[in-house]
């Protein structure tokens, strides 16, 4: 298909800049089709499936229509629910962020009238609201609609289902007759046709039908995980299944860059492809990936179009695609030539609805999976290590000269064998509960540990996630402390919202948690001691450096700063 660019659609530089800030690489089909028709001033009935980008399809022309110098309501967007009104308002805010003097405000039930009244009085060009509350404001005389140039009914079918018909008609009647009237919906029922007929002038119909698709026979799994836990989930799945070659899809260039950096910081070999990278470089990356010269390619849909790699084990939808067709294209990159492939999709928040739609559209079942626990990952790694050892043992023909030397030096054969496991990346002595006469921890070979901390035992923590820092709490598993307890301890002592706590790792005698940067400052001058029911808990900062931006594999030093073994061994 010949795809268009946003820059072909006749948009202002301010809006184009906002679109590029959002990381949208190219218009979604409904956007490419509807935006020019809306800009030309026609009434429009737009139809495309959920998650296909309808908001920007009407939001962009709405913003372009507004006169910044005039602070009266010029665009009215009706939404069925408060949640949708907020979402649409958020997207309009982002899309208009470079347009000076354009203001948009959501108006919905359940929020204070005073605040909404204040906002409206200040003067806004775009009002996004639910019909009920808009009617209230009209009745109170706090919302004037006589300068409205465009009315948009988002999810029009749903509004009718919810019984808003009468309110909608009244609101439409309160706006000037020569307005532009726009309907957007995933479905267009008879009811809505009736409404359209009575309230619009020769509307143009813009409809994006999903094409029939053949879904490749790959195993499809989804994992529900909050956004901030996705990276951890990815690491665990990769460690657990031992994937060696895969593509990871993100929706924006920024996310691609972040994720590629994060993977490299964890010692993987990874590279990236997105529309912001020069073509010559893209070709280089692509060729290297085809030759499996690195493990994971992080990419946007646009950049990965046309990639043809055999033996791809894994496709990850780090972000759910906004288009069901893209989902099919993405997962079709694995399972080629009858080989078995795996498609993994991370789903956060309301993505689950989009996923259900994709299931319906593709007529396949995407199975729900659970992320393996840190313990399961560890267990699996040990098993595979043992398998490898058994293999070698079964093959026989082993030379024992090195072992003999060590035996002569007085080491026992079990200790020699155990230390070889440590060298292979198996669990080291330091993961065991500290006990009085524990042997000194075996030193990991050749790898530099992060800077030792003066006063505390140095845990082997992986670098924290972006924007996070590790803190240590002097309370461990033996007290039956739960992750929830840790969160409330942190909430109480550092005054942070529970949402800003990331990964929590509870071991014996101590626990670690990742906490958003801004809440860690209070610990920079020393630990905090907080009283609990039967004693005290010390909370301290554990500085572990993030590895900053480094491109793989070109600019990679021969050895990653953090060895894969050191950081992926344990501590989740």
C-alpha to C-alpha distance for 82 and 108, rounded to whole angstroms: 6
Per rule CB under 6 A, is residue 300 in the interface with ligand ADP? no
C-alpha to C-alpha distance for 251 and 232, rounded to whole angstroms: 18
Per rule CB under 6 A, is residue 54 in the interface with ligand ADP? yes
Q: Please say whether the beta carbons of 460 and 569 come within 8 A.
A: yes
Nearest Cα residue to 68 out of 126, 125, 148:
125
Q: Which span (24-32, 134-142, 210-218, 283-291) binds ligand ADP, by CB under 6 A?
A: 24-32
* Closer residue to ligand ADP, CB minimum distance, 1 or 337: 1
Per rule CB under 5 A, is residue 236 in the interface with Mg ion? no
Task: Among 15, 35, 47, 51, indicate the residue that binds ligand ADP (CB under 6 A).
Answer: 51
* Closer residue to Mg ion, CB minimum distance, 54 or 565: 54
Task: Among 44, 56, 153, 195, indicate the residue that binds ligand ADP (CB under 6 A).
Answer: 56
Per rule CB under 6 A, is residue 29 in the interface with ligand ADP? no
Per rule CB under 6 A, is residue 185 in the interface with ligand ADP? no
**Cβ 106 to ligand ADP shortest distance, Å:** 15
**Cβ 55 to Mg ion shortest distance, Å:** 5
Per rule CB under 6 A, is residue 142 in the interface with ligand ADP? no
Q: Which span (54-62, 174-182, 540-548, 555-563) binds ligand ADP, by CB under 6 A?
A: 54-62
Q: What's the number of CA atoms in the CB half-sphere (13 Å) around residue 206?
A: 23
As a three-state string, the secondary structure of 47-81 is ECCCCCCHHHHHHHHHHHHCCCCCCCCCEEEECCC
Q: 411: which 2 tokens?
A: 């080491």
Q: Which span (44-52, 192-200, 326-334, 469-477) binds ligand ADP, by CB under 6 A?
A: 44-52
* Closer residue to Mg ion, CB minimum distance, 26 or 91: 91
Q: How many residues bind Mg ion (CB under 5 A)?
A: 1
Q: Which does 220 bind (CB under 5 to 8 A by kind): ligand ADP, Mg ion, none?
A: none
* Closer residue to ligand ADP, CB minimum distance, 20 or 479: 20
* Closer residue to ligand ADP, CB minimum distance, 257 or 430: 257
Q: Which does 27 bind (CB under 5 to 8 A by kind): ligand ADP, Mg ion, none?
A: ligand ADP
Q: Which residue has the tokens 């465009």?
A: 150
Q: Which does 130 bind (CB under 5 to 8 A by kind): Mg ion, ligand ADP, none?
A: none
Counting DSSP H helices and E strands in the chain, the numbers are: 20, 19
Q: 295: which 2 tokens?
A: 């493990």
Q: What's the number of CA atoms in the CB half-sphere (13 Å) around residue 3?
A: 13
* Closer residue to ligand ADP, CB minimum distance, 255 or 513: 255
Read out DSSP for 493-533?
HH---GGGEEEEEE-SS-EEEEEEGGGTGGGTTS-EEEEET
Q: How many residues does the chain have?
A: 572
Per rule CB under 6 A, is residue 53 in the interface with ligand ADP? yes
Q: Is the previous residue joined to 553 through a cis bond, with omega within 30 degrees of 0?
A: yes
Per rule CB under 6 A, is residue 24 in the interface with ligand ADP? yes
Per rule CB under 5 A, is residue 82 in the interface with Mg ion? no
Per rule CB under 6 A, is residue 50 in the interface with ligand ADP? yes
CA angle in degrees (0–180, nearest 5) for 481-486-491 = 150
Nearest Cα residue to 304 out of 282, 337, 327:
282
* Closer residue to ligand ADP, CB minimum distance, 210 or 453: 210
C-alpha to C-alpha distance for 129 and 84, rounded to whole angstroms: 9
Per rule CB under 6 A, is residue 52 in the interface with ligand ADP? yes
Task: Among 42, 54, 149, 274, indicate the residue that binds Mg ion (CB under 5 A).
Answer: 54
**Which residues lie below 8 Å from residue 39, measured CB to CB, with a gap of 6+?**
9, 10, 61, 64
Q: In the chain, what is the straight-line distance between the N-terminal and C-terminal CA atoms, in Å?
A: 44
Q: Please say whether the beta carbons of 39 and 64 come within 8 A.
A: yes
**Cβ 155 to Mg ion shortest distance, Å:** 6
* Closer residue to ligand ADP, CB minimum distance, 54 or 329: 54
C-alpha to C-alpha distance for 382 and 390, rounded to whole angstroms: 12
**Cβ 54 to Mg ion shortest distance, Å:** 5
Q: Which does 510 bind (CB under 5 to 8 A by kind): Mg ion, ligand ADP, none?
A: none
Q: Please say whether the beta carbons of 462 and 546 come within 8 A.
A: no
Pairing outcome for strands 342-347 and 104-107: unpaired
Pairing outcome for strands 501-506 and 511-516: antiparallel
Q: In the 8-state DSSP scheme, what is residue 432?
A: S
User: What mask, x for binding ligand ADP by CB under 6 A, covers residues 192 to 231?
Assistant: ----------------------------------------
C-alpha to C-alpha distance for 425 and 170, rounded to whole angstroms: 70
* Closer residue to Mg ion, CB minimum distance, 104 or 501: 104
* Closer residue to ligand ADP, CB minimum distance, 27 or 246: 27
Interaction residues for ligand ADP, span 308-337 (CB under 6 A)? 322
Q: In the 8-state DSSP scheme, what is residue 316?
A: E
Q: How far is CA 31 from CA 4, 61, 139, in A?
A: 10, 10, 35
CA angle in degrees (0–180, nearest 5) for 246-249-254 = 125
Per rule CB under 6 A, is residue 256 in the interface with ligand ADP? no
Q: 531: which 2 tokens?
A: 């009283």
**Cβ 158 to Mg ion shortest distance, Å:** 10
Q: Which span (21-29, 303-311, 362-370, 461-469) binds ligand ADP, by CB under 6 A?
A: 21-29
**Cβ 110 to ligand ADP shortest distance, Å:** 21
Per rule CB under 6 A, is residue 251 in the interface with ligand ADP? yes
- Interface with Mg ion by CB under 5 A: which residues? 54
Which residues of this chain interact with ligand ADP, rule CB under 6 A? 24, 27-28, 31, 48, 50-56, 251, 322
């Amino acid at each position: 298909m010949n795809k268009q660019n946003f820059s072909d659609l006749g948009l202002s530089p301010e809006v184009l800049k906002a679109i590029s800030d959002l990381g949208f690489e190219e218009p979604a089909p409904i956007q490419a089709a509807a935006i020019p028709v809306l800009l030309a001033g026609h009434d429009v009935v737009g139809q495309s499936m959920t998650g296909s980008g309808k908001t920007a399809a009407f939001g962009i022309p709405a913003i372009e229509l507004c006169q910044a110098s005039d602070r009266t309501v010029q665009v009215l967007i009706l939404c069925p629910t408060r949640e949708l009104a907020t979402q649409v308002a958020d997207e309009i805010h982002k899309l208009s962020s470079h347009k000076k003097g354009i203001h948009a405000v959501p108006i919905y039930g359940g929020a204070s009238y005073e605040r909404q009244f204040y906002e409206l009085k200040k003067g806004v060009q775009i009002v996004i609201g639910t019909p009920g509350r808009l009617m209230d404001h009209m009745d109170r005389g706090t919302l004037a609609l006589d300068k409205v140039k465009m009315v948009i009914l988002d999810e029009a079918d749903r509004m009718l289902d919810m019984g808003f018909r009468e309110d909608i008609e009244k609101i439409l009647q309160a706006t000037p007759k020569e307005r532009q009237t726009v309907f957007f919906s995933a479905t267009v029922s008879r009811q809505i046709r009736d409404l359209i007929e009575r309230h619009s002038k020769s509307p143009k119909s813009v409809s994006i039908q999903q094409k029939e698709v053949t879904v490749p026979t790959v195993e499809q799994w989804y994992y529900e995980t909050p956004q901030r836990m996705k990276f951890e989930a990815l690491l665990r799945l990769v460690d657990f299944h031992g994937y060696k070659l895969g593509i990871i899809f993100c929706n924006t260039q920024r996310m691609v860059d972040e994720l590629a950096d994060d993977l490299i910081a964890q010692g993987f070999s990874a590279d990236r492809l997105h529309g912001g990278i020069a073509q010559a470089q893209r070709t280089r990356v692509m060729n290297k990936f085809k030759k499996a010269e690195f493990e994971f390619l992080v990419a946007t849909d646009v950049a990965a179009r046309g990639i043809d790699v055999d033996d791809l084990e894994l496709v990850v939808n780090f972000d759910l695609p906004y288009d069901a067709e893209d989902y099919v294209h993405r997962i079709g990159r694995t399972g080629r030539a009858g080989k078995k492939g795996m498609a993994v999709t991370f789903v956060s928040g309301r993505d689950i609805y989009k996923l259900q739609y994709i299931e319906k559209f593709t007529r396949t079942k995407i199975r729900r999976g659970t992320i393996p626990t840190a313990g399961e990952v560890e267990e699996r790694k040990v098993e595979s290590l043992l398998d490898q050892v058994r293999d070698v043992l079964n093959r026989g023909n082993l030379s024992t000269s090195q072992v003999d030397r060590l035996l002569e030096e007085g080491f026992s054969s079990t200790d020699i064998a155990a230390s070889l496991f440590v060298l292979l990346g198996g669990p080291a002595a330091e993961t065991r509960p500290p006990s009085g006469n524990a042997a000194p921890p075996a030193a990991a070979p050749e790898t530099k540990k992060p800077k030792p901390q003066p006063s505390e035992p140095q845990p082997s923590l992986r670098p924290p996630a972006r924007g996070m820092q590790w803190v240590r709490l002097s309370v461990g598993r033996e007290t039956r402390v739960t992750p929830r307890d840790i969160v409330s301890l942190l909430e109480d002592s550092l005054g942070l919202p529970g949402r800003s706590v990331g990964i929590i790792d509870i071991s014996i005698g101590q626990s670690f948690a990742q906490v958003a940067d801004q809440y860690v400052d209070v610990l920079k001058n020393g630990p905090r001691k907080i009283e609990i029911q039967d004693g005290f808990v010390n909370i301290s900062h554990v500085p572990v450096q993030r590895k900053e931006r480094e491109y793989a594999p070109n600019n990679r030093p021969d050895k990653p700063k953090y060895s894969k073994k050191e950081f992926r061994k344990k501590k989740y």
